[in-house]
Structure 1
């Protein structure tokens, strides 16, 4: 396999460090790369499209895989520093937003995407714990054809760009030292495991004794969920009185809009709060950190007590490793609270 090597030969300012990429448009290559966030010298998979937008994908010394999305060298635009700074989609998969919170609103322990000099976005792409990604964005990149990205600028404008993913694996594999073609059996087992866990979580959310069910679920998952088999999970749950046969992951709620704008606004706010709390939980944030945030809500505000209950329920659920499973859990958790809100408001 022939791979071009691209080295840093002249400065482009990206957070204080940078390079000129002598790459042909949409041709993926392996390059030596210095991470502008911590100055680590790394091997990266990189590509520059015909418009000059570029991607760098690399594994840091903490084993996590990150990427940097950059504007063209000759662009005068600057990426927004807060809020929704970008969005991307691989083929026909769901679009993913890249959002940056204000420092005072961010939660300790959660690594946010960062904006480098107004010209680039840096964020975590994959946890890097397995021999090869089985789900999530990096898996979709390795299997996909086209990556579409929308950058949001501080002027209120945006730019839509695309990257050809053909040949991406030939650069990503060597750069990250991973197998790009995951074993079909490994993929099938991982998805079967994740489905069993998600069905268990949904079952527990509707159980008369949520805490007891979640306790059984956590024990069934064991100390290393990555080694769990779907059949093991189903057998363990059934042995403790929670058979999964016939159960399925809850679909997104099809909620008819209420005639009351107040009800809609309140339920939307509750769903957003539940989504934020579960997102922080799945990102590894300490429960005490979120509880302290809720405690700061003024007395008498009904959202304060509700917020406490949402935090307790979120942390009663396990911390998942797979990115796709995390996102599905976050969505289902938020939807569940919105459904309960609409149901209680329509009685």
Structure 2
């Protein structure tokens, strides 16, 4: 049952943490100004922030759609349903990308009215549309990611291992840290019964990043806390679908403690931007500093921060 709230609940996630570090003003738009923006009676600044929050560029949308079809394939297998071919999965992703293009152009007004149900591409909203080079790059990336998924270590394990226990697949999970709800999205978690190890899989459609290992540490923290799984029994695996590389880690208790400390520090700094921590009422917008960087041009909220031709979001 929906309950109206003037301010959103406070929570923490790795994506929220990264947004906070990137730009405090973007953080304000994303997590506070957009709240209640779906309501007809909300002020226009809330509605516009909510619309902008739902914009996606082609790489992000492509990554989301690839995750969706992979999750569908895995659930089909686990539920004893027929598996889809590589071409069928690619066709599903392509169809959804085409729908997003139509939403962004022909049905733009539908997105404006219901931005959660319809898509808007960043390249179209802020630019001149999709270039032939961008379309070609997306097609190549889709083909490579789908091909590498079918040959990935995780998918081959699933198809060949008789004894395995699946814990999660592409679902939001929540656990509490010092009274704060922490959200994690686990792509796939299963137990290799023969080796008595829990495998945490994160599908990556982009390039390798130094943050990838840190993100996996939060997943290990969740499993150790909520499911009482010893850290030494957790294997963390990044499946880089663009390159076909599979990277595994086993973290030490020290690294898990470090993830916990990073989370605590992040929450502490976020709370400093609240006028009323109990209600999660933020300070005035002007107190959320704008941080100018190279990322400004790709920011969803840059129209809110535009000053002349300089974007400071």
Of structures 1 and 2, the larger Rg is shown by: 1
Structure number with greater CO (CA < 8 Å, separation at least 6) is: 2
Do both proteins adopt the same fold according to a TM-score greater than 0.5, normalized to the shorter chain?
no
Larger proportion of helix = 2
The alignment's TM-score, normalised by the length of structure 1, stands at: 0.28
In the superposition, the TM-score normalised over structure 2's length comes to: 0.31
